[in-house]
Amino acid sequence: MSEPKKPYLSGKPISPNSLRGDETVADLVDRTFLAYNAGRIREACRLLHEKMLENNVTVGLSLSGALTPAGLGRSCLIPLIENGYVDWIVSTGANLYHDTHFGIGLTLHRGTPFVDDAVLKKQEVVRIYDILFDYNVLLQTDKFFYEILSAPEFQKTMGTAELHYLIGKFVAQREKVLDLGTVSLLSAAYQHGVPVYTSSPGDSSIGMNIAALQMKGIGPTIDVSLDVNETSAIVYHTKKRNMRSGVVMLGGGSPKNFVLQTEPQIQEVFGLEEAGHDYFLQVTDARPDTGGLSGATPAEAVSWGKVDPDRLPDSVVAYVDTTIALPILTSYVLARAPRREGKRLYERRGELLAFMKKDLPDKFQSELF
């Protein structure tokens, strides 16, 4: 006897109304994103709105790919921070470097990828695919970083959360002088107490300027181990306080792994009891079979302890360009979700580390701290 078909036909019929042209983004997603990767975008929007943005969820965000040069920091990421939808961030250093252009009054321009790069080089124009800007933008931004990183506040060892907090403070001051409003991701994170980490601090022009200063014997020294422990402490404290942990990963690379590795650090390395992140939302154009997404699909992540196997249904992967998906996700939750009170985790980093430290097995109490 064949299996009954009813359970497989329980979804709503695909019968959308005709578009009129006056739909909101949120309505468009709910009514017409019905299948394929549009369906995954709808599921991602609803997961973020209905579950991940509950007050008892701590949301980590990873950023990779050239998002801020395309204006996505100002259009999408800053509103997410200002509405309390993001609690901690791991980004490539390049995103934070290019984000700073806007905060210090420099401009990037829409262009075309179909140009002669040899001609651009002669005219001192830099290209990021179809984004064009004057080479002097890099020189002025480097000058800004070289000057502020020479300031007394930076003359010590620190993690990247403190590094970016201090940079955000200086950028916010420059925004105020230039009467720009908040146009920088780092400025918004500074104002709202959102810690921003970089998993590879030497892999950007910010890191390059730090390296240049160290040739003179000045500037910050970055403690990458502190970043590993602080991010793990954020997740551990969340879960032990009977709250839930959600991760939103825009693209892949090192930032994606850094937000996910918090759980193996807790379970595998520290030997603390934990089950994994509760909510998993990823936007990517990578594939697992080529190694570009290996170990990071929700199901594979379960085997690493990165995702709670009991929460696997609360996982969505949308195989879509982030520059398309992020504005849709942002507009959807701004329309549907109430504002959350920010957790201001930057100011609580010491408290969270102490909370995790007291639970460490004896061998780690003596060897690691």
**Using an 8 Å Cβ cutoff, are 348 and 311 in contact?**
no
- What's the CA dihedral at 70, 136, 190, 94 to 10 degrees? 60
The bridge status of strand 88-91 relative to strand 196-198 is: parallel
**Using an 8 Å Cβ cutoff, are 72 and 326 in contact?**
yes
Distance CA(157)–CA(225), nearest Å, equals 12
**b/e map 246-267, b = 16+ CB within 10 Å:** bbbbbbbbbbbbbbbbbbbbbb
216 annotated active-site: no
Distance CA(126)–CA(133), nearest Å, equals 5
- Kindly name the residue from 239, 256, 306, 343 that is annotated as catalytic: 306
**Using an 8 Å Cβ cutoff, are 305 and 285 in contact?**
no
- Say whether 276 sits in a helix, a strand or coil: coil
Closest among 274, 238, 277, 271 to 257, alpha carbons compared:
277
* Placement of tokens 């009991």 in the chain: 310
Helix axes 160-178, 185-192, angle to 10 degrees: 110
Residues annotated as part of the active site: 306
